[in-house]
Structure 1
Amino acid sequence: MGIIERYISRELLLPFFVVTIILIGLFVSFSVARFLTGAVAETLGAIAMFKLVGLKTIIALEVLVPIAFYVAVIHGLSRMNRDQEINVLRSVGYGDNQIIRTVFIIALPIAVLSGVLSIYARPWAYAESYVMNAQAEAELNTDRFQPGRFYGSEKSGRVIFIRGKDDLEKRMEGIFHYIRTAENREIIVSREGYQQPMTQEQWPYIELLDGKIYRLGYDAARDSTVQFEKMIYFNENDQAQNYRRKAASTQSLWNSEQPQEIAELQWRLSRPAATILLALIAVSFTRTAPRKDKADRTFIVAALVFAVYYNLSGLAKTWVEQGVVAAVPGIWWVYGLLLMVVVLRLPELRLFLSARK
C-alpha cells in the first residue's frame, strides 16, 4: 500500500473508530436506561444486567459497524474535498478510480468483520441473552419474588404469591397463582414448586407439586376443579420462538425451508454486501463542490438515503418471513437496488464494468 493509500486509510479509519465508539456508547446508555426502568435490574442484579447489555451491544454491532463506516467515508472524503486535497491527488494522477479502489480495499476487512459478527457473534449473543431474558421474564421465578408479598400485573392479568422459598434449591412453598383471561379465571394453588435449570434449548419452567387448579368461568356452570400431584408450568411465548430462531446456528438455518429462518439466514449473509455497497454510495456523496452549504446538504441527503435503505431492508426481511416474497429474490432485491444506485452515481465504476464486459 502506497503513501496515498495509507493517508486515505488513516483519514477513513480514524473517524470510523470514533463513530463506532460513539454509537456503542449511545446504545449502551439507552439499554441501561431501559433496563433500569423495567424489572430486569431488580430480577437479575446489576452484574447480570450489564452482561445482558454487553450481549445486546454485540448483537447491535452488525448494524452499527456498517453505519459507522458509511459516516466515516462521507466525513473523511468530504473533509479532503473541502480542503482541496482531492484536487491535489487528481493533479498528480491519482484519480477517482484509484480513490474508489482504495475505499473498496478498506471496506473489505470491515465487511468481513461485519459478516463474522452477524454469522457467528450474533447467534451466540442471542443464545446467551435468551437464557438471561427467560430468567428475568419467567412468571414463576424464585429469583423474582420475595415470600409473603403479592405481585400483580394488570397487563398480564396475573397475581402471584409465595409463602416461602429456598434460593439455594430453587424451591418455592405455598404458591398461589391467579390468571385472568378473556374466557375464564384460573387459580393455581400448590404446596411447593421447583424451578428447573434453564438452557438455550429449553424455556424456563416450574414443576408444581401437590396442588389444585380452579377454573372459574364467567358463567358459573363452567366452573371446574382439577387436582394434580405434579404439573409442569411453562412460560413460553412468541418472543421465545423468535429468540430461538435468531440464536440458531447459521448451518442449521442453511438447511431450513421455513420462511422465517430463510429470512434470518439471508439477513446474516447480507451484512458484508451492505457494508461495501454503503461505503461506495458514501463515496458518491463526496463529489460536491467544497462549499459548506453544499456539504451540509450532502450529509442530509446521505442520512435520508441510509434511512430509506434501513427501512427497506427491514421490510424485505419481514416480507420473506411472512411468505410475501419467496426465498428468491428474498431480501436480495434491496441490495440489487443499492448496486444500481452505486453504478448510477459512480460513472467510473460503470465504465469499469463496461470494460470488463
Structure 2
Amino acid sequence: MKIIERYITRELLFPFIVVTVILIGLFVSFSVARFLTSAVTETLGTAAMFKLVGLKTIIALEVLVPIAFYVAVIYGLSRMNRDQEINVLRTAGYGDNRIIRTVFVIALPIAILSGILSVYARPWAYAESYIMDAQAEAELNTNRFQPGRFYGSEKSGRVIFIRGKDDLEKRMEGVFHYIRTTEDREIIISREGYQQPMTAEQWPHIELREGQIYRLSFDTVKDSAIRFEKMIYFNENDQAQNYRRKAASTRSLWDSEEPREIAELQWRLSRPVATVLLALIAVSFTRTAPRKDKTDRTFLVAALVFAVYYNLSGLAKTWVEQGVVAAMPGVWWVYGLLIIIVMLRLPELRSLLPAGKQ
C-alpha cells in the first residue's frame, strides 16, 4: 500500500475504533442501567446479567459498526479537508476518484465484519439471550422465589407461593399459583414442581406433579375442579416467536417462504451493503469548503441523512414482515435509493466502473 493510502487508512481507522468504543460504552451503560431495574439481576444474578449485556452488545454491533465507520469517514476526511490536506493531495495528482477508491477498499473488510456479525454472531447471541431472557421472565422460576413468601405481579395478575425448594434439583414443594383474568380465576395447587432445562427450541416450563386446578368463573355455574398427576406449565409470552426467528440460522431462513423470516434474512444480508454505501455517502459530505461552520453543518446533515436511512430500512423490513411488500424488491429498494444518491453525489464513481475504463 502506498504512503498516501496508508495515511488515509490511518486517518479513518483511528476515529472508527474510537467511535466504536464510545458507542459500545454507551450501549453497555444503558443496558446495565436497564437490567438493574428489571428482574434479571434478582433472578439470574449479577454475573448472568453481565453475560446478557455482552450478548446484547454483540447483537447491536451489526448496527454500531456501520454507524461508527460512517462517522469516521466524515470526521477523518473533513479534518483533512479543513487542514487543506485534500487540496494538497489533489495538487499532487491524487484526485477525488482515488480517494473514493481508497475509502471503498477500507470499507470492504469492515463490511465483511458487519456481515459476519449479522449472519453468524447475531443469531447465536439472540439464541443465548433468548434463553436467559426467558429464564428471567418466567413466572414460575425456582431462582426467583424464597420459601414461605407470597409473590404477586400486578402486570400478570398472578400470586405465587411455595412452601419449600431445592435449588440443586430445581424442585419446588407445595406450589400455590393464583391468576385472575377478566373472565375467571384459576388456582393451581401442586405437591411439587420441577423446573425443566431451558433450550433454544423451547420456552421455560415447569412440570407440576400431583395437584388440582380450580377454575372459578364469575358465572358460578361454570366453576370446575380438575385433578392431575402431571401438568406442564409453560411461561411462553408473545415475544417467543420473534426471538426464535431472530435466533434461527441463516441457512434455515434461506429456505423459508414465511414473510417474517424473509425479512429477517434480507436484513442480515443487507448489513454489508449498507456499510459500503453509507461510507461512500459519507465521502460526499466532505466536499465542502474548509471552514469550521460548514463542517459543523456537514455533521448535522449527515446525522439527518442517517436517521432517514435507518428509519426507512426499519420500515422496509416491517413492510416485508407484514406482506405489504413482496420478497422482491423486499428491503432492497432502500439500498437502490442509496445507490442512486451515491451515483448522483459522487460522479467520479462512473470512471471506476468497468464500462468507464479506457
Unmatched 5+ residue regions in structure 1?
none
1:43 corresponds in structure 2 to 43
1:11 corresponds in structure 2 to 11
CA distance in 2, matches of 1:87, 1:168: 70
1:225 deviates by 1.0
**TM-score, L = length of structure 2:** 0.98
2:216 corresponds in structure 1 to 216
2:111 corresponds in structure 1 to 111
1:206 corresponds in structure 2 to 206
Q: Is the 8 A contact 1:148 1:161 kept in 2?
A: yes
1:138 corresponds in structure 2 to 138
1:221 deviates by 1.6
Count of paired positions: 357
CA distance in 1, matches of 2:334, 2:185: 48
Task: Say whether residues 1:196 and 2:191 are aligned partners.
Answer: no
1:351 deviates by 4.7
1:355 corresponds in structure 2 to 356
1:349 deviates by 1.4
Q: Is the 8 A contact 1:184 1:218 kept in 2?
A: yes
Deviations 1:177-208 (A, max 9, x none): 11112221111111110111111111111110
Q: Is the 8 A contact 1:344 1:350 kept in 2?
A: no
Q: Is the 8 A contact 1:263 1:330 kept in 2?
A: yes
Change (3 A) 1:202 1:109: same
1:153 corresponds in structure 2 to 153
Deviations 1:235-284 (A, max 9, x none): 11221111111111100000001111101100000000000000000000
1:307 deviates by 0.2
Any residues of structure 2 matched to 1:258-273 within 5 Å, and which? Answer: 258-273=258-273
Deviations 1:147-202 (A, max 9, x none): 11111111111111111100001100111111112221111111110111111111
2:173 corresponds in structure 1 to 173
**TM-score, L = length of structure 1:** 0.98
Identify the range of structure 1 (39-48 vs 104-113) with the bigger mean alpha-carbon deviation: 39-48
CA distance in 1, matches of 2:292, 2:200: 53
Q: Counterpart of 2:330 in 1: which secondary structure?
A: coil
Structural RMSD (CA): 1.1
Unmatched 5+ residue regions in structure 2?
none
Q: What percent of counterpart residues are identical?
A: 84
Task: Give every structure 1 segment of 4 or more consecutive aligned residues whose post-TM-superposition deviation is greater than 6 Å.
Answer: none
2:324 corresponds in structure 1 to 324
CA distance in 2, matches of 1:305, 1:182: 47
Task: Say whether residues 1:307 and 2:307 are aligned partners.
Answer: yes
Any residues of structure 2 matched to 1:38-117 within 5 Å, and which? Answer: 38-117=38-117
CA distance in 1, matches of 2:223, 2:106: 69
CA distance in 2, matches of 1:339, 1:218: 62
Q: Counterpart of 2:239 in 1: which secondary structure?
A: helix
Q: Counterpart of 2:185 in 1: which secondary structure?
A: strand
CA distance in 1, matches of 2:236, 2:124: 20
Q: Counterpart of 2:269 in 1: which secondary structure?
A: helix
Any residues of structure 2 matched to 1:231-270 within 5 Å, and which? Answer: 231-270=231-270
Q: Is the 8 A contact 1:210 1:230 kept in 2?
A: yes
